[in-house]
Amino acid sequence: MDDAHADVESDDDFTPTFSPRTRTVVYVACMVMGVVAYVLTVTTSAIDAPVWLTVACATCTAVPGYVAAAFGVHYDGISIRG
pLDDT at residue 53 above 60?
yes
Output the DSSP codes for 35-64: HHHHHHHHHHHHTT--HHHHHHHHHHTTHH
**pLDDT single digits (tens) 9-25:** 555 666 778 888 888 88
Q: What's the rounded mean pLDDT across residues 65-79?
A: 75
Residues of the chain above pLDDT 90, percent:
35
The reported pTM is: 0.67
**Most confident stretch, 3-7, 22-26, 35-39:** 35-39
Cβ distance 16 to 72 under 8 Å? yes
Q: Which residues contact 63 (CB under 8 A, 6 or more apart)?
A: 33, 37
